[in-house]
């Protein structure tokens, strides 16, 4: 099915651009509001301090010199550049001097409207912050300052913030578009590789796995997954071929016996013999299939949920005891040397199957009188299970091959079995994070399985 390319506005990259830009704008806005509040508070405090200082000075001059010198002082200060605004009124409320408008005769801070001529630049805030003082003689003194400079400072900050937000928006947009382009290329390369795999090209791999970033890690994980899938598919193909090869003989025997019975059997005994032989062939086929299903179940890892503490000494003692009579009947010596108290996390039934397969394999492929030694011991870093015999052993060149499915040495073709025993052992060991090794017992075969030390 052809997949449509996602629209720009619905892509993760576009959402990332929007989110990044909004976060940047929000950060600048919060910072600007904080600066604006601090600047306004500082300027207001400075104006109040100037007004209070001037009010105290003029009140002191009035107390020592009287009203007329005070009027002259107010006139002189009013002409100074950047000076405060003033107003003096007589006890009767008559205007004496100053530029501030009339205000109620109440001591304290007030805000009053300024006429346009009193506003710097005739723009901005037309409000003045003033302090009203009733002098000891009843005169009214008002000292104030226009808030227009504060309004102008606020407007300057707002303008700067608008410019900053515009710059942040532009830079964020450009940067996000560049990042989106880079990420889109790599993601598209991943999609192309994935579509190639879907089309049947299992050799395709996602590029960029060497990059030390999130996409590189993701590509590496997917490549490992594809390697695993490719290996499993190859394995399934090989299993199919091996099954067809190994089951051809018993099924051919079964068909030949049934044909012979149908054509040549003349008595009930002949039919019984053919039936018994056919049942044996069918059992061999079923045994092979059961072994395959068992291995598949183990390799899926689903049995990990049944893991529990397993005492290997106790487990091995029970398995070896079950094989003692069979070994003695065949003239073999079976021994066990196990350290007590060795406990690992595992599936008890599978571990029993593992040890039983190794012992059965040794019994099947060694001559009478052979000694088979089982051992469980600790090493500095592992728990080691060993089954060693004094039989013919396995050549070094064939030891890896016998762990594969249906692998059987030529001299073993005459013995019953499917060639899956050691394969199942390897799968069980891997399920328990262990490793199986085939070595030389000089003479004989030594199978060693190392489990992680608990």
pLDDT for the residue 414: 43
Contact indicator for 433, 344 with CB cutoff of 8 Å = no
CB burial of residue 427 (10 Å; 0-12, 13-18, 19+): buried
Highest mean pLDDT range out of 57-61, 112-116, 254-258? 57-61
pLDDT for the residue 118: 53
Long-range contacts of 222-230 (CB under 8 A, 24+ apart): 222/190, 222/194, 226/197, 226/202, 229/202, 230/202, 230/203
* CA–CA distance, 340 with 309 (Å, rounded to integer): 14
pLDDT for the residue 288: 66
SS3 string of the chain? Answer: CCCCCCCHHHCHHHHHHHHHHHHHHHHHHHHHHHHHHHHHHHHHHHHHHHHHHHHHHHHHHHHHHCHHHHHHHHHHHHCCCCCCEEEEECCCCCEEEECCCCCCCCCEEEEEECCHHHCHHHCCCCEEEEEEEECCCCCEEEEEEECHHHHHHHHHHHHHHHHHHHHHHHHHHHHHHHHHHHHHHHHHHHHHHHHHHHCCCCCCCCCCCCCCCHHHHHHHHHHHHHHHHHHHHHHHHHHHHHHHHHHHHHHHHHHHHHHHHHHHCCCHHHHHHHHHHHHHHHHHHHHHHHHHHHHHHHHHCHHHHHCEEEEHHHHHHHHHHHHHHHHHHCCCEEEEEECCCCEEEECHHHHHHHHHHHHHHHHHCCCCCCEEEEEEEECCCEEEEEEEECCCCCCHHHCCHHHCCCCCCHHHCCCCCCCCHHHHHHHHHHHCCCEEEEEECCCCEEEEEEEECC
Confidence at 166, pLDDT banded by 50, 70, 90:
confident
Query: What is the average per-residue pLDDT within 400-415?
Result: 53
- Co-location of 146 and 251 in the same domain: no
The yes-or-no verdict on residue 4 having pLDDT over 60 is no
Which position has the higher pLDDT, 229 or 72? 72
- Co-location of 435 and 315 in the same domain: yes
- Co-location of 132 and 21 in the same domain: yes
- Count Cβ atoms below 10 Å from residue 252 Cβ, excluding itself: 11
Residue 184 lies in a domain: no
Crossing angle for the helix pair 421-431 and 348-364, to the nearest 10 degrees: 150
Confidence at 186, pLDDT banded by 50, 70, 90:
confident
Crossing angle for the helix pair 214-264 and 148-198, to the nearest 10 degrees: 20
- Co-location of 267 and 322 in the same domain: no
Confidence at 450, pLDDT banded by 50, 70, 90:
very high
pLDDT for the residue 406: 53
Q: Of the residues 105, 131, 153, which one is the last residue of a structural domain?
A: 153
The yes-or-no verdict on residue 124 having pLDDT over 50 is no
Which position has the higher pLDDT, 344 or 420? 344
Confidence at 169, pLDDT banded by 50, 70, 90:
confident
Which position has the higher pLDDT, 147 or 122? 147
CATH of the domain at 251: 1.10.287
Q: Which domain holds residue 367?
A: 304-452
* Phi, psi angles (nearest 5°) of residue 311: -80, 105
Q: Of the residues 298, 316, 339, which one is the last residue of a structural domain?
A: 298
Query: What is the average per-residue pLDDT within 242-265?
Result: 73
Residue 415 lies in a domain: yes
Residue 283 lies in a domain: yes
Q: Of the residues 153, 179, 195, which one is the last residue of a structural domain?
A: 153
pLDDT for the residue 133: 92
The yes-or-no verdict on residue 338 having pLDDT over 60 is yes
The yes-or-no verdict on residue 382 having pLDDT over 50 is yes
- Co-location of 309 and 441 in the same domain: yes
- Co-location of 279 and 310 in the same domain: no
Confidence at 11, pLDDT banded by 50, 70, 90:
low
Residue 166 lies in a domain: no
* CA–CA distance, 335 with 320 (Å, rounded to integer): 8
Q: Which residues are paired to 128 by β-bridges?
A: 112, 146
CB burial of residue 23 (10 Å; 0-12, 13-18, 19+): exposed
- Co-location of 283 and 317 in the same domain: no
Query: What is the average per-residue pLDDT within 111-136?
Result: 73
Confidence at 387, pLDDT banded by 50, 70, 90:
very high
The yes-or-no verdict on residue 170 having pLDDT over 70 is yes
As a whole-number percent, the residues of the chain with pLDDT over 70 amount to 82
Query: What is the average per-residue pLDDT within 333-340?
Result: 89
Q: How many CA atoms lie within 13 A of 249 on its CB side?
A: 11
The yes-or-no verdict on residue 415 having pLDDT over 50 is no
Residue 397 lies in a domain: yes
Mean pLDDT of the chain: 79
Which position has the higher pLDDT, 300 or 208? 208
pLDDT for the residue 3: 46
Strands ordered across the beta sheet of 333-338: 333-338, 371-378, 382-389, 445-452, 435-440
pLDDT for the residue 384: 92
- Co-location of 23 and 146 in the same domain: yes
Q: For 20-50, how does the pLDDT look when each residue is reduced to its tens digit (9 = 90+)?
A: 778 878 887 888 888 888 888 888 899 899 9
The yes-or-no verdict on residue 96 having pLDDT over 60 is yes
* pTM (2 d.p.): 0.48
Residue 19 lies in a domain: yes
Which position has the higher pLDDT, 123 or 426? 426
Closest CA to 332 of 369, 373, 387: 369
Residue 93 lies in a domain: yes
User: How far is residue 125 from each of residues 67, 122, 144, 145, 149, measured CA to CA in Å?
Assistant: 32, 9, 14, 11, 8
pLDDT for the residue 297: 62
CATH of the domain at 76: 3.30.450
pLDDT for the residue 234: 75
Which residues are CB-contacts of 207 (< 8 A; sequence separation ≥ 6)? 186, 189, 193, 219
- Co-location of 332 and 311 in the same domain: yes
- Co-location of 245 and 282 in the same domain: yes
pLDDT for the residue 290: 67
User: Number of structural domains, the chain?
Assistant: 3
Which position has the higher pLDDT, 402 or 169? 169
The yes-or-no verdict on residue 368 having pLDDT over 60 is yes
Query: What is the average per-residue pLDDT within 99-120?
Result: 79
Which position has the higher pLDDT, 89 or 191? 89
CATH of the domain at 320: 3.30.565.10
Q: For 258-310, how does the pLDDT look when each residue is reduced to its tens digit (9 = 90+)?
A: 887 777 777 777 777 778 777 877 777 776 666 666 666 666 556 677 788 99
Query: What is the average per-residue pLDDT within 160-186?
Result: 77
- Co-location of 256 and 311 in the same domain: no
- Co-location of 116 and 17 in the same domain: yes
Which position has the higher pLDDT, 225 or 412? 225
């Amino acid at each position: 099915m052809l997949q449509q390319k996602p629209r720009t506005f619905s892509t993760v990259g576009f959402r990332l651009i929007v989110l990044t830009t909004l976060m940047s704008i929000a950060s600048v806005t919060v910072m600007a509001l904080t600066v604006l509040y601090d600047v306004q508070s500082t300027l207001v405090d400075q104006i109040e301090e100037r007004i209070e200082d001037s009010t105290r000075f003029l009140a002191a001059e009035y107390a020592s010199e009287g009203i007329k010198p005070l009027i002259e002082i107010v006139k002189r200060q009013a002409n100074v550049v950047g000076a405060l605004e003033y107003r003096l009124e007589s006890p009767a409320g008559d205007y004496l001097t100053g530029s501030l408008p009339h205000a109620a005769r109440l001591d304290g801070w007030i805000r009053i409207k300024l006429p346009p001529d009193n506003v710097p630049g005739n723009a901005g805030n037309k409000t003045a912050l003033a302090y009203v003082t009733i002098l000891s003689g009843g005169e009214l003194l008002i000292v104030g300052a226009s808030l227009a400079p504060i309004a102008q400072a606020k407007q300057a900050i707002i303008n700067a913030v608008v410019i900053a937000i515009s710059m942040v928006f532009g830079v964020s947009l450009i940067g996000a578009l560049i990042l989106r382009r880079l990420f889109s290329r790599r993601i598209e390369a991943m999609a192309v590789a994935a579509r190639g795999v879907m089309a049947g090209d299992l050799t395709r791999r996602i590029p960029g796995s060497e990059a030390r970033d999130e996409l590189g890690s993701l590509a590496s994980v997917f490549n490992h997954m594809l390697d695993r899938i490719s290996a499993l598919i190859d394995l399934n193909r090989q299993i199919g071929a091996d099954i067809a090869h190994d089951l051809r003989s018993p099924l051919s025997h079964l068909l030949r016996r049934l044909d012979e019975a149908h054509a040549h059997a003349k008595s009930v005994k002949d039919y019984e013999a053919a039936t018994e032989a056919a049942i044996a062939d069918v059992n061999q086929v079923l045994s092979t299939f059961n072994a395959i299903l068992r291995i598949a179940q183990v390799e899926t890892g689903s049995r990990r949920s049944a893991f529990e503490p397993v005492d290997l000494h106790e487990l091995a003692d029970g398995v070896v005891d079950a094989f003692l009579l069979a070994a003695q009947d065949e003239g073999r010596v079976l021994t066990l040397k196990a350290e007590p108290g060795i406990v690992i996390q595992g599936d008890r039934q599978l571990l029993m199957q593992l040890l039983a397969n190794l012992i059965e394999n040794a019994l099947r492929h060694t001559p009478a009188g052979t000694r088979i030694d089982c051992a469980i011991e600790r090493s500095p870093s592992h728990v080691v299970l060993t089954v060693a015999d004094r039989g013919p052993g396995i050549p070094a060149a064939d030891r890896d091959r016998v762990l594969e499915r249906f692998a059987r040495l030529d001299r073993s073709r005459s013995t019953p079995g499917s060639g899956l025993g050691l394969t199942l052992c390897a799968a069980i060991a891997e399920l328990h994070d262990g490793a199986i090794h085939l070595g030389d017992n000089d003479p004989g075969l030594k199978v060693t399985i190392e489990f992680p030390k608990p």
